[in-house]
Amino acid sequence: MRVILFGPPGAGKGTQATALAERYDIPHISTGDIFRENVGNETDLGVKAKAFMDAGDLVPDDVVIAMVEDRLNQPDTGNGFLLDGFPRTAAQVEALDEILARSGHSLDGVIRLQVDDGELMTRLLRRAEEQGRTDDTPEVIANRLEKYEAETEPAVVRYRKRSILYDVDGEGDVDEVRDRVLEAAAKAEQS
């Protein structure tokens, strides 16, 4: 199963990704988590990414793409993978296509979680209090949502054209959303 979980910051990708990855026994690859780990360990990659993350800007494509390619070449992706937070730009969509083509694989589906803007802001501000993420301040959140609208959302068109985009209502109870996500994944797997 090769699947992408797509959606704006605060849509619940992390939570739903955990359930999906467990169900299909595939690694959950979150570019945000990888970056945060590298920032925490002060690696070269972390140093490169930190200023962009703190501002709510996207890390440059070449940095992200090299990191994801390296991660997808790890042996645990033999059975597939779940990407969370990647791709986020048209260039990243193209790069992923090339990486997959080189390994003779294709994507089963792109599951997009949809949540209303007002609800996203409420959730992100709540998470800021609970987790203290440095990129969860109101200004940075607003910038991240803007970047999503401007750069990430348009990139999804390519997946819609290929009929592998599955829209899921991301509002409501976490368990209900999980059931919808799993239902979409089952459809993606069959098609």
Residues forming contacts to ligand AMP in the complex (CB under 6 A) are 9, 31-32, 35, 52-53, 56-59, 64, 85-86, 88, 92, 135, 144
Query: Is 144 considered catalytic here?
Result: yes
Q: What share of the chain is helix, strand, coil (3-state, %, to 5)?
A: 60, 10, 25
Q: Phi/psi of residue 51, each to 5°? A: -60, -40
Task: Find the shortest distance in angstroms from Cβ 124 to ligand AMP.
Answer: 10
> Are residues 166 and 187 in contact, defined by beta-carbon separation less than 8 angstroms?
yes
19 vs 140, beta carbon nearer ligand AMP: 140
74 vs 191, beta carbon nearer ligand AMP: 74
Query: Is 127 considered catalytic here?
Result: yes
Q: What residues contact residue 26 under an 8 Å CB cut-off, 6+ apart?
A: 1, 3, 77, 79, 80, 81, 82
Task: Find the shortest distance in angstroms from Cβ 69 to ligand AMP.
Answer: 12
Q: What is the three-class DSSP state of 130? A: helix
Query: Is 133 considered catalytic here?
Result: yes
List the catalytic residue out of 2, 112, 123, 144: 144
The H or E element containing residue 123 is helix 117-131
37 vs 179, beta carbon nearer ligand AMP: 37
List the catalytic residue out of 48, 71, 127, 158: 127
Task: Find the shortest distance in angstroms from Cβ 139 to ligand AMP.
Answer: 13
Q: What is the three-class DSSP state of 112? A: strand
Task: Find the shortest distance in angstroms from Cβ 87 to ligand AMP.
Answer: 6
16 vs 92, beta carbon nearer ligand AMP: 92
With CB atoms as reference, the residue minimizing the distance to ligand AMP is: 32
List the catalytic residue out of 23, 48, 50, 133: 133
Q: What residues contact residue 102 under an 8 Å CB cut-off, 6+ apart?
A: none
Relative to beta strand 2-6, strand 165-169 is unpaired
Q: Which residues are catalytic?
A: 13, 88, 127, 133, 144
